[in-house]
Structure 1
């Protein structure tokens, strides 16, 4: 689904819509291919990253680990961005809705400890905060079958997303913004992506543990795994060297973008606005985590291999509902994680979009292979205004997924 506004997630099926685009046939790699395959994949990914920059992306980071040796890491950037920062593959960046995978992990850890149950109605933990909350379970929040309206579609959120309003948003305030609207459908009736679901999850986590989301991410995930560049952002500051994210300035914004979304706050750069200093706190439990490709790869490996969750809870996370009821065997959404078929193999993961940062992060079922792609601009996908970037990003994402599975990247078609 798309909201036509810059929201935390660009489209929950972004990985599916881009990676499943028709591609030339790919052949399986043979064991004898070894290092020559890696060299060819690196060259192909470098070529596609550069094409994406040439198409208009200010910066691109790619990291692919096929589980057979040294990962491929690539950074490419437009020359005009170098005055702000020399981009590297190790840089921190905003993860947007990939945050949901971490929030679901935290919930499932508490389920394993007997402190929560997926069948708990939200009203048990947030009494009176969600209309109809006796019929909406934590599972429905996690897999987007609650029917709750998406708070990022409310006009009151617009200035925060653009960076012109510095107010502090809490989980409960974000939840209240979403539930003041009528629900889209009865709880459990179907699937519809809504960031309000995870605002509710954030409020539940805080209520049950008595800890902040920042502390929970730090103490339950980042520190145990040694993720030095992973944290829940509480303001617009960064802890390490970071990728700068940009959006077109008002004079260069494509004509398809509504007037209300053309004026981002931040320093002007070469027809763009550097939005890196804007506060992502409005993303909350739906999208405020910062990380890096290396950290996220380690997180995925720990998650999917069972280090972070017992087998029973990991199985619950992987239990999916169809994203499209017309394709019951097609793309699915589990608890904070997506899955879908691909010409090179079935992937698991998530995507995320927050101003300045469009990310796709995928892994295989066991977590032994990972692929991450960052594009340092995001509004193009929200409003479908730049087909050149869209085509180049789709080609790079597809090639990264194939490289993750140890298969040749598709030839240009």
Structure 2
């Protein structure tokens, strides 16, 4: 399984600051103007070589997102169409440098990590090690009896009713006091084990970070293997992902896209390595690159990883189930995947946001076309900027589908 670059490869960064922007990012990242000197927007060709012409209007749109008030310091979008790649970049990978975001820069994929846990679970369904009707009571009997009727299917489409551990005051107190605190990832649900279900399982949709922690624990119980090993065998290796990992610490492998907390009137603060990934784990801890995120979503939304029978069940959608943040167009929730119905057609994928990063990854159902949009701030904290980002994502989907 791929591992990050050794921590000793560079000096330890300074301890995280306690600015208002960072404190806000800590809470906002786990509960649901770029004005620094040296921030020089750059629009550069991908150094590995674009394989087809780019759309100047889309390039301008990405540039406008970066230069908007409160905009992210950097952004990169990758379109893959029948083997041809287009790369759009704006801003910088790190404030103070002129290096543009690169397709091989590491970054936190945030809640897109839930699609990876969906890939593991559904691959095990294909192998009959798990069943969608398996319950928490059968697989994880030590969890509260009130939760025992919840099924794997309900965890994957966020209709479980599990309370969200990341919104628990005890968890928030720990992560706010010490963002680099090392959690026992397999005990994250302990923060909410004294709480009842929020609603009857299957009766409604509610996005919860607890769901995918339980999914990973069920996968471990069914196989007797660590979730990280299952990711390597069932996801990374089949898709050729060599720069994707699930770390426990706060380090990012070099090179990486620096993520920032951006607050009005303040200098953006680098929060790339502020948080320990152990507090997100299967719900949001994956680290990857724009190139490999693009490859992953093509494989997961397309036919490469799963059988046709399992894919049909994966794509039974809960109407109106929106990802976090909402993706372009109308959102519907499937099993570890969302359908985004835009004015130009529908794609399948996932979004995510955490301190310093906002992600969108989607593919056509045949796996032949994919798009990722990655920006280096937590855009959903600004509703106007999020609306601009969603419009940008929709236009990239239209380009992907060959529509104006």
- Counterpart of 1:398 in structure 2 is 394
Q: Are residue 66 (structure 1) and residue 81 (structure 2) matched? A: yes
TM-score normalised per structure 1: 0.78
Select 1:236's aligned residue among 250, 254, 263: 250
Where 2:95 maps in the other structure, the secondary structure is helix
1:9-408 matched pairs, under 5 angstroms: 10=32, 39=53, 41-55=54-68, 56-67=71-82, 70-77=84-91, 81-83=95-97, 86-158=100-172, 164-248=178-262, 252=263, 271-278=267-274, 279-323=276-320, 331-378=331-378, 380-382=379-381, 385=382, 387=384, 389-408=385-404
Structure 2: any 5+ residue segments left out of the alignment? 1-25, 33-51, 323-329
Q: C-alpha separation between the residues in 2 aligned to 1:163 and 1:373?
A: 32
Deviations 1:216-267 (A, max 9, x none): 212221123211221112211223411000003xxx458xxxxxxxxxxxxx
Check the 8 A contact 2:303/2:367 in 1, yes or no.
no
Residues 357 and 229 of structure 1: CA distance in aligned 2, closer, same or farther (over 3 Å): same
Q: Contact 1:53 / 1:78 at 8 angstroms: preserved in 2?
A: no
Instruction: Quote the Cα distance in structure 2 between the aligned partners of 1:371 and 1:125.
Output: 36
Distance 1:390 1:126 in 2: 38
TM-score, normalised relative to structure 2: 0.80
- The answer on whether the counterparts of 1:9 and 1:96 sit within 8 Å (CA) in structure 2 is no
Structure 1 residues 164 and 346: CA distance shift in structure 2, 3 A? same
Equivalence for 2:21: none
Aligned pair count?
A: 352
What is the alpha-carbon distance in structure 2 between the residues aligned to residue 291 and residue 9 of structure 1? 22
Separation of aligned partners in 2, 1:166 and 1:215: 24
State the Cα RMSD in Å. Answer: 2.7
Q: CA deviation at 1:213?
A: 2.3
What CA distance in whole angstroms lies between the structure 2 residues aligned with 1:344 and 1:240? Answer: 37
Closer, same or farther in 2 for the Cα pair 1:113/1:393, shift >3 Å?
Answer: same
Deviation of the 1:355 alpha carbon: 0.7
What are the ranges of 5 or more consecutive residues in structure 1 without an aligned counterpart? 11-37, 255-269, 409-413
